Amino acid sequence: MVKIRLTRGGAKKRPFYHIIVTDSRSARDGRNIERVGYYNPVASGNDQRIVLDIARVDHWVGHGAQLTEKVRSLYKEATKAQAAAA
């Protein structure tokens, strides 16, 4: 099964997550199919907190990919931000 989930990066005490499309059997920081955005929970100032390619996420969901709970909440937040900007 294909999942859209987070993979951790960044330094100790400064997390940074890439939002990736991957096979559910692969390790958290293992191989991925495609990177569709990132999430920076400690963003400050002009740094962007969430960057997400919504069209690619919709494409993968249309092909049967499932979002994890956290990615689903980030997706909703990103779509609200995109709608407000338009």
Task: Show the tokens assigned to 27.
Answer: 């390790």
Total domains, the chain? 1
Q: Give 36's pLDDT tier (boundaries 50, 70, 90).
A: very high
CA 36/CA 83 separation, integer angstroms: 19
Q: Give 86's pLDDT tier (boundaries 50, 70, 90).
A: confident
Q: If you ran DSSP here, which 8-state letter would residue 12 be given?
A: T
CA 70/CA 7 separation, integer angstroms: 12
Quick one: pLDDT at residue 16?
Answer: 95
Q: Are 22 and 32 in contact (CB under 8 A)?
A: yes
Quick one: pLDDT at residue 29?
Answer: 81
Against a cut of 0.85, is the pTM above it?
Answer: yes
Least confident range of 7-11, 18-22, 35-39, 80-84: 80-84
Q: What is the CATH number of the domain that holds 21?
A: 3.30.1320.10
CA 68/CA 5 separation, integer angstroms: 6
CA 78/CA 4 separation, integer angstroms: 15
Its domain, for residue 75, covers 2-85
